[in-house]
Amino acid sequence: MSPVTRNRVAGLVLAAVIAIIDQVVKYIVVGPLRLREVGHIDLLPFFDFTFTPNYGISLGLFTATSMEMRWILVVVTGLIAAAVMVWMLRERRFGDIAPLALILGGALGNIRDRFVLGYVIDYADLHIGSFRPFLIFNIADAAITIGVVLLLLRSLFIRDKPEDATSKPENAAEIP
């Protein structure tokens, strides 16, 4: 297996692992912990579980208020996930593939919720006293956010070096 193929397979595996972990934790939260019924579980002074059905997408935007809207969100987020997967499979280096795999895995976890339940299960409640710097989220949301931040950081701070450092583009001007 070539290194590029290995990187792409590793990206697909990472996406699957993120989606599976997300679904397992959601199962534990609503199953054995019964968070849907109890609503809230105090864990740490700065972190709790709070059951929140999210009928929208990022930051609760585009809330699905009807069955039609639900399926439109499933289709749109599915198309976005497919585009991310195509992008991921076109990349060659794992550093470029990994952030896309995080986004894809998170998207798959949330798409499954919306497809099966009609909403996404959010439960992670990070806070400092009564101050909540984040909305209630889940592992899929965290993976998507981390993936997007990594993509932005890579695009802003990491410059690819040319294959041959001694060669320069034909239209490059000479610097004295």
Q: What pLDDT is recorded for position 98?
A: 97
* Those residues with Cβ within 8 angstroms of residue 40's Cβ, 6 or more apart along the chain or in another chain: 48, 49, 50, 51, 125
Q: What is the DSSP letter of 159?
A: -
Q: 120-126 and 40-44 as β-strands: parallel, antiparallel, unpaired? A: unpaired
Tens digits of pLDDT across the chain (176 residues): 899 999 999 999 999 999 999 999 999 999 999 999 999 999 999 999 999 999 987 666 677 878 898 999 999 999 999 999 999 999 999 999 999 999 999 999 999 999 999 999 999 999 988 888 778 999 999 999 999 999 999 988 877 655 554 545 555 555 55
Distance in angstroms (rounded) separating the CA atoms of residues 63 and 22:
22
For the annotated catalytic residues, the residue numbers are 122, 141
Q: What pLDDT is recorded for position 61?
A: 65
Q: What pLDDT is recorded for position 163?
A: 54
Query: At 151, which amino acid appears?
Result: L
Nearest to 61 by CA among 49, 73, 78, 71: 73
Distance in angstroms (rounded) separating the CA atoms of residues 48 and 3:
42
The torsion region of residue 63 among left (phi > 0), alpha (psi -120 to 50) and beta comes to beta
Strand partners, 41: 49
pTM here? 0.85
